[in-house]
Amino acid sequence: MDHADDPDPVLIRLREGFERVALVLRADLWSAAGEAGLNPAQAQVLALLAARPAGLRAKLIAAHLAVSAPSMADTLAALERKGFLTRAPDAADARAVIVRPTEEGCALGRALASATSQVMSALARLSPAEQADLLLTQIKLIRTLQQAGAIPLQRMCVSCRHFRPNAHPDAAKPHHCAFVNAPIGTRDLRLDCGEHEAADPDVQAATWTSFADGSPPLQARPET
């Protein structure tokens, strides 16, 4: 029998591995949410908004968390009743709603986002080099999923106009962040940065190529 179209066994094992980690992450989320008197969906919303205190449109929150608009509306209403967020018409589009965390909601969201979990404990047991390699792998996977339209644009360093890949000879900190005007290393790369400003698509493509192959792009000179 011809098995030429069968998936690569390694890919199957990797997917199975992610599924097992996801089970633990889900259990961690249920535990943290329950301790805070929330359900998991409410906890995810607050953790997301804590990193975006200026607020997000309700539609974008639903997209980030991959839930339906009606389900998100119920979640937001519950959090609003608990005093953890406010909703108001978007000044740029009266048909849209901007959701902002209250001070209490922001504090709880930050606590939920940084709560110690079984997965974090396991990650802490990896060596610094293994952690850095895993972060790079995550960045590549997230970028591929973004390009496929599977997830919304994430506020990663590699898509930011402030990011300069391989701008320094220092192997420990080869990249440069023009926002803080400082060199950064692999362990400093962020998947969700509050100062993120999306670069032009052509610049993003050139930046990614340079980041991936280890060469600085022409526009990668550090700002002074």
83-142 residue pLDDT tens: 999 999 888 887 888 999 999 999 999 999 888 789 999 999 999 999 999 999 999 999
Q: Where are the domains of the chain?
A: 9-118, 126-213
**Average pLDDT across the chain, whole number:** 90
pLDDT at position 221, please?
47
Structural tokens at position 30:
């249920």
- Report the alpha-carbon distance of residue 88 to residue 92 in Å, rounded: 12
Residue 223 pLDDT exceeds 70: no
pLDDT score at 2: 55
> How crowded is residue 202: how many other Cβ atoms within 10 Å of its Cβ?
8
CA distance 84 to 88: 14
Residue whose token pair is 């997301």: 48
Percentage of the chain modeled with pLDDT above 70: 95
Amino acid at the residue 76 = L
Specify the pLDDT at position 33.
92
Q: Mean of the pLDDT values across residues 140-164?
A: 92
Q: What is the pLDDT of residue 62?
A: 92
Considering only residues 135 and 5, tell me which one the structure prediction assigns the higher pLDDT: 135
What number is the average pLDDT over the span 47-75?
91
The whole-angstrom separation of Cα 219 and Cα 213 is 16
Sign for the pseudo-dihedral over CA of 38, 41, 45, 48: positive
pLDDT band at 208 (very low <50, low <70, confident <90, very high): very high
Q: What is the DSSP string of the chain?
A: ---TTSPPHHHHHHHHHHHHHHHHHHHHHHHHHHHTT--HHHHHHHHHHHT-TT-EEHHHHHHHHT--HHHHHHHHHHHHHTTSEEEEEETTEEEEEEEEE-HHHHHHHHHHHT---HHHHHHHTS-HHHHHHHHHHHHHHHHHHHHTTSSPPP--GGGBTTEETT-SS-SSS-EEETTTTEEE-GGG--SS-TT--BPPHHHHHHHHHHHHHT---TT-PPP-
DSSP helix/strand/coil, 15: helix
Q: Is the dihedral of CA 193, 23, 150, 45 positive or negative?
A: negative
pLDDT at 224 over 50: no
Provide the pLDDT confidence category of residue 220 given band limits of 50, 70 and 90. Answer: very low
| CATH top-level class of 9-118 | mainly alpha
Strand partners, 184: 175
pLDDT for position 3: 58
Task: Please tell me whether the overall predicted TM-score, pTM, comes out greater than 0.95 for this model.
Answer: no
Of 106, 46, 35, the residue nearest 75 (C-alpha): 46
Q: Is pLDDT above 80 for 218?
A: no
What per-residue confidence (pLDDT) applies to 217? Answer: 66
pLDDT of residue 93: 82
Compute the average pLDDT of residues 148-154: 87
